[in-house]
Structure 1
Amino acid sequence: MIEIEGTMSLYLLWGAAMLFAGIVGGIMAGLLGVGGGIVIVPVLYHFLTTMGVDESLRMQVAVATSLTTIIATAISSTRSHYKKGSVDIALLKHWGPAIVVGVLIGTAIGGFADGRVLTIVFAVVALLVAANMMLVRDRETDTQKNPPKSVWAVLGVIAGSLSAMMGIGGGTICVPVLSFLGYDIRRAVGTSAAIGLIIALPGTIGYAMSGIGVDGRPPFSLGYVNVLAAALLIPMTVLFAPVGARIAHSIPRRALRICFGLFLAITSLRMFYDLIS
């Protein structure tokens, strides 16, 4: 463990940032199905940098803690979407096993790779997601494509592994995929919220185990999971995920997608800057 130097104001600012990230992450999880991690990971990464956590560990701690919060967020968001009939149970049964395999692969890589590798993965995928958010409109079609099982398996492994390495729910990758395959966007969002639980549960366990005994972790950490940050984030994400789910069924979301895409693009470029500076 390391001793983190800082004034009381820094800790208060850190706590406020966690609460804010939890609120925004919860709303985004319910609204866009992207998982709160796409917001939470950059915030955690920034404050771990401010607190002097070693660069090789920041991303593991941010990713692991984010996955922990997604467990609670996914349950809350999935319940809201399920009540509205937007969760495809058959698809979860069909796709879930491949996603779990991907999570195990991604967690194994993320738990033992240099944190800079995870930062690169996050920055690249976040930039691609930003482009998708801003440039690609939601597809609404009555015709669903039905690719072979082998294609579903490959897509599931890729989605699971990338999500586990980035600390995000499955929606960031799964919503664009399901939308492309012709799924109604709200059904894609609802199902992806449930996929977040499939990703977050084994991912959290894997990071908690692989981080045991690693030097340089911040205080109050269980493996790579920072329990203190999770305790601040989880109540907010749980409270606000249903809010996002309700908004998703009541307003056009184009403007929000553009704003969120800009946030991701800026976050991605900032991470690239940190890597090369």
Structure 2
Amino acid sequence: MSSLGGSLDQNPPNADRHITEGGSDWLWAVTAIMGLSTLGMVLWQTTRPRGTRFFHNIALIILTTSTIAYFAMASDLGATPVRAEFSRGTTNTRQIWFVRYIQWFINFPLLLILLLFSTGLSVSDILTTAFFSWVVVICGLVGALVPSAYKWGFFVFGLLALFYIWSVLLGHGPRTTFNAGQTTRSGYVRGSGLVAFITLLYPIAWGCSEGGNVISPTGEMIWYGILDLILGPLFLYHFLFGLRNVDYGAFGFHSGKHTDGAYGGPDGGVGAGPNMKTAGGGATGARDVV
């Protein structure tokens, strides 16, 4: 990939306002970082004992999805032209990257699940929060594809969904009982604060790019790319490193396999946690995790 502008030659931009060769170069760099992070997570996951890979598996899915999405965007694929509400001079259409929203549709709820499963929140509360992350992403996509001022209605709906997510991350989550200990609670508080702050910057980026057509698509790629790198490799590796010595039995996880017994079984490499039965009968208040 010595001349990454070749992506634009082979896949010509389909809108008046589109990414430049420099934007493609940046996207290839992010793709490389995501790809290396994915490979590192694969290796890290294989070193974990059976029954302690739940969080690592989620991180692996997130990083793999990001790698594929950024490969598509770096190749100048996965975008569609949409008439801009604000033309900004001679611009009539702008590239809208639907592949990015596919990435977020998969990754955003998984990121929240990874965070919230370290708390004492019920599974129903966690899944409801994950649902509202889909509302955020879908409203962002639909709003980006709407050429009229009605796009801002979808923007407001998405923002209201974000407020709900923030209330769970910063309000309900920290007040639950952290069976895994104070270290896990401290890590969650720091992690949820970071996620809340970074997700605040996404709608600002949307308003300046897909919404208001203020910044160029290349500037959009740089902005979103930095945010995705922070919530992707940087956050995931830091958060998982903080859980390296935590007794997974305290989370109440259970594989659901009789041969695994309670929390990984006798050959799973990990003993039963404080809330787990020692035979294959499951756990009191355990979460079933396949």
TM-score > 0.5, shorter chain as reference: no
Q: Which has the higher helix share?
A: 1
Q: Shorter-chain TM-score category?
A: 0.3 to 0.5
TM-score normalised according to structure 2 size? 0.32
The structure, 1 or 2, with the larger RCO (C-alpha pairs under 8 Å, 6+ apart) is 1
Larger Rg computed on CA atoms: 2
TM-score normalised according to structure 1 size? 0.33
